[in-house]
Amino acid sequence: MLNDDSKAEYYRDRYPREHPMMEHHHGKLAKLLELIREDLRGELAAINEYASHMVEAMEAGYNDIARVLHHIMLDEKDHVASLTKILNKYDPEQRRAFMKEEPGTYSIQDQ
Ligand SMILES: [Fe+2]
């Protein structure tokens, strides 16, 4: 995890002064986006856990339990989509990454 000085440096290096993220890099939006990314991590981990538990339930012969776990897992996927949409809306750098057609083409010059 970056400390506050490192975060300021990170944003200064990546966002031009007139960029909206620069205005907010010490403010509430940057902190909120950081929290959203942590929430996203939790949702993704939850999906994997429910998938694993669902398999356990099926292997134990409890398909009714597996169906409930599957339903919960689908809810978690909805949560991932909702949080991702927030990042897409408020983090322009992330939005640009979503818009790229060919992944894996990053270079130093891209920044
Ligand atoms: Fe969730």
What letters, b where the CB count within 10 A reaches 16 and e where it falls short, cover 27-53?
Answer: eeebeebeebeeebeebeebbeebeeb
The pLDDT value given to residue 101: 78
Would residue 45 count as lying in a domain?
Answer: yes
Kindly give the distance from the C-alpha atom of residue 49 to the centroid of ligand 1, in angstroms, as a whole number.
12
Kindly give the distance from the C-alpha atom of residue 24 to the centroid of ligand 1, in angstroms, as a whole number.
27
Which residues line ion ligand 1, judged by CB < 5 Å? 43, 76, 79
The pLDDT value given to residue 95: 95
Tell me the residue range of the domain where 10 lies.
4-98
Tens of pLDDT along the chain (111 residues)? 567 677 666 766 666 555 665 655 557 999 999 999 999 999 999 999 999 999 999 999 999 999 999 999 999 999 999 999 999 999 999 999 999 876 566 565 555
Would residue 63 count as lying in a domain?
Answer: yes
The pLDDT value given to residue 79: 98
Cβ(53)–Cβ(16) below 8 Å: no
- Alpha-carbon 39 to chain mean position: 7
How many Å apart are CA 63 and CA 54, to the nearest integer?
9
Would residue 109 count as lying in a domain?
Answer: no
- Alpha-carbon 6 to chain mean position: 21
Q: How many domains does the chain have?
A: 1
Kindly give the distance from the C-alpha atom of residue 102 to the centroid of ligand 1, in angstroms, as a whole number.
29
Kindly give the distance from the C-alpha atom of residue 1 to the centroid of ligand 1, in angstroms, as a whole number.
23
Would residue 104 count as lying in a domain?
Answer: no
The pLDDT value given to residue 6: 77
The pLDDT value given to residue 41: 98
Would residue 71 count as lying in a domain?
Answer: yes
